[in-house]
Amino acid sequence: MEETLKQYITEYYRGFIGFEIEHIEDFYQASKTYKRINLGEYETTVRDILYPPGEIRIGVRDARCIPTRPVQKHFLMDLAIFTMKLGGETVKRILEKILRENPREGAANEKMNNELDSLKKRSLEDSEKIEELKKEIKQAEERIKFLENEAISQRRK
C-alpha cells in the first residue's frame, strides 16, 4: 500500500512540473510592474470542477483584507489560489485514475449502494405497514371494548 501511495504522491508532484517556468515567471513579471494578473483569464490551463476561473472558496481569499491588501499580497494570493487550483486538478486526475484502475471496487460499491437503497426503501415500506397495522389493532381493540360494553349493557336490561 505504501508503494501505491508513493506512486500517487509522485504523480501529484509531477502535476507541478514546469510550474516555475510556466507560471512563476508570469506572476514575477506582473509583480515587477505592479500589474495584477487576471486569474479568470489566466486559468485557461486549469479545469477546476468546483469554482469558475478566477474564483475560490469564500474564506480562502478573505474579503476583509482586500481593500487594505498591498499589491504584493494580491500577487501572492493570486499565485496561491492558482497553485491550489492546479493541485486540485492534479488530485482530480489521480482520483479518476484510481477509480479507473479499480472498477471492480467501484462496481461493488455501486452494487452495495443500490442494495442499501433498496433495503432503506423496503424498511420504509415495512415501517408504514407496521404503523397501519398498529392503527388497525387500535381500532379492533376499540371495537372489542365497544362490543363488550354493549353486551354488558344488554345483560343489565
Share of the chain above pLDDT 70, in %: 78
| Dist CA 56 CA 75 (whole Å) | 15
pLDDT surpassing 60 at residue 58? no
pLDDT surpassing 60 at residue 60? no
Residue pair 13/25 in contact (Cβ under 8 Å)? The answer is: no
| Dist CA 135 CA 47 (whole Å) | 57
**The overall pTM is greater than 0.85:** no
Give the pLDDT score at 53: 64
> Of the ranges 24-28, 78-82, 139-143, which is most confident?
139-143
* Mean pLDDT computed over 101-109: 66
Lowest model confidence (mean pLDDT) among 40-54, 93-107, 139-153: 40-54
Give the pLDDT score at 124: 85
Give the pLDDT score at 76: 79
| Dist CA 146 CA 58 (whole Å) | 66
Within 10 A of 61 (CB to CB), how many other CB atoms are there?
17
Give the pLDDT score at 51: 62
Residues ≥6 apart with Cβ < 8 Å to 85: 43, 46, 48, 51, 56
| Dist CA 86 CA 151 (whole Å) | 84
Q: How does the average pLDDT of the chain come out, rounded?
A: 77
Domain boundaries, the chain: 2-101
Dump pLDDT digits (tens) for 14-54. 777 777 777 777 778 888 887 777 777 777 666 665 666 66
